[in-house]
Structure 1
Amino acid sequence: MTRSNRAHSAGPLLGAGLLLLAGGLSVAAQVRASSDAPADADWERAAAEVVARAQAEDAIRVEPTWSESALVHLGPVGNLLHRHHHPQIEDFQGVERVWLIAEADRQEDGAARLPPGTERLSTERYGEVVLDLYQLPAEVQLGPSLLARLPDAQIEHVKARGENATRCRRWDARRERWICPGAHYVGSELLEVGDDPRRCIWAHALKHGESLRVSFLAETLLDEEMDEGRWLRLRAGVDLRGARHERAQPMSYEVFLGDRAVLSHTVDRFDSTWMAHTIDLSELGPDEELRLEIRAEDPEAHGRRFCFNGWVIDDAQSQLLRDHSGSVESSSSK
């Protein structure tokens, strides 16, 4: 065999050898990682402590957020699970304390996902699992949401030319929704928006260019005791299922204070961002209304599974929220 032929014969053998070596190293790394991972007994002991001590106003988080290891042991308090990968301050409404069950080397990663000013009350270790209990600061509680105020809202279907409006007149208290013509409704839903589950007001855009109008009287929104500014903190977007619809088209929503348009935003097709808007309410008169209008230009409004929620907040809270909402804060915020 010539030297050239021997070289050609060695090539495939060398490649196969390198592949075997890479595979061996990968298996070794996985075995090592597996040996360093917490045992199921560690997760079980930490979870048992949470089950025994958790209260109704608590939330339970697991780090890493994709881990299922602790979940099987948290059944009795599963309703308190907080499964957000990238939680925002608005996602902690009604929560006073947070239990964090974390792999020991991810403890600080879990703490970094909590609102600013959160205080660690206690730490316990169970093998390779750490259990922390945190107290949230009072200022992250924003008060009643638009969802909570929805029974007092007025919901209308407005024809494309705006000359005729049909009001939704039946409130379903059990399902927290307004029942509208054509099997349409506006009300509470748990949807995946911004890559995380959010409880919000489902307000699917209508067909044929009609507008969906949701109005709140100022007298039901404004707190007379709030003397340090009044702002609307609005969150809005299309859920992930709707954003991925193959026939999805852009849609838009507008916010009015009385007859004055103060916000107009377009949701592009395939966009599932949980947008943040901070809107000055200082010029909203006591006899006026706050109004959202949702519209899709496409006649069929495919996948326009829009939802929103909002809170009336003071100056300090508005600054806190704008400082910690990152790239999803709208440039339209005042």
Structure 2
Amino acid sequence: MTNHDTGHEAGNELATQAPGALPDKFADPGHPEHHDRLGDNDPKANKKAERQVVVLFAVSVLATLGFLVAYFTLPPGETPESMLRSNLALGLGLALSLLGIGLAAVHWAKALMNDHEKSEERHVQRSSDENRAGAVAALKDGAEDSAIGRRGVLQGAMISALALFPLAIVVPIVGNVGGDWNVSKFRHTMWKKGTKLATDPTGRPIKAADVTIGSVFHVIPEGLEEAEHPLDEKAKAVVLLVRLDPADLNEAEDRKGWSYDGIVAYSKICTHVGCPVALYEQQTHHLLCPCHQSTFDVANGARVVFGPAKRPLPQLPITIDDEGYLIAQSDFNEPVGPSYWERLK
């Protein structure tokens, strides 16, 4: 009796049962009818599929080599353009290397290996010794079915791709061995006593008289462009400057001299994961990080009022010079940004 006939009889049986009654079991419909692939009957098509798999492995090999070339010839540099160029080349190389291996494995399985559906009954978790021996035999049959032993070019392409790809991971790791792991540099920024606060990105010094209540300035240290690594220094030293009505400003006793006539300056780097905090709400005096919605109260020492951040934004003590320009009294009161392994708080 065919599966179709069995299913038909089961259907008749269900039709004769009382409404709402459940059958004791359903008939096994069996596997769907198998259809041969083109390569199963045509040796030329089979060989073509093999060549396609080889080409995909070759793409992976070339992409891995391209990644290594890009790693050594296109360093990130100090400019956004050089960083974009380096990251794009490395990313494309790594993506194509993995994609080539993945597509080759899938195409190999679908076009060259046996595609007959198989099933087995469920059994207890611990198989019998006989079943275990059968599993080992099945693995051997699978290896034989893949015909890797008879496909020398395909075997070489696969081994080359799999052998070269780890270099895309190992080389950058080895290249960073002996690099700069001095995390103490995060404790300090360019800010020091007397450094003028300047607008970002123009670098124009800011006078206290130019800062009106409710206004916000994105600030960098004056002379930032003259630093040895200006982008690195800017990443640590960026500041958000806000002026509040002095009556709304609640300062701790040890910070009462850190602001000037309601003007306060806080690190722009979120203490959660380092995103730029830049969305200021004048009525509530709340400062929002757009990445994960950490919210800081500027009127109360930039303490956290919502979100995943655990620490207030570090404050930059400020005052004015003889000409009325805003200047720093010192560096930030604590290291900026997220926690790191040598940070005490």
- TM-score with structure 1 length normalisation? 0.28
Q: Taking CA–CA contacts closer than 8 Å with sequence separation of 6 or more, which of the two structures ends up with the larger relative contact order?
A: 1
- TM-score with structure 2 length normalisation? 0.27
Q: Which has the higher strand share?
A: 1
Question: Larger Rg: 1 or 2?
Answer: 2
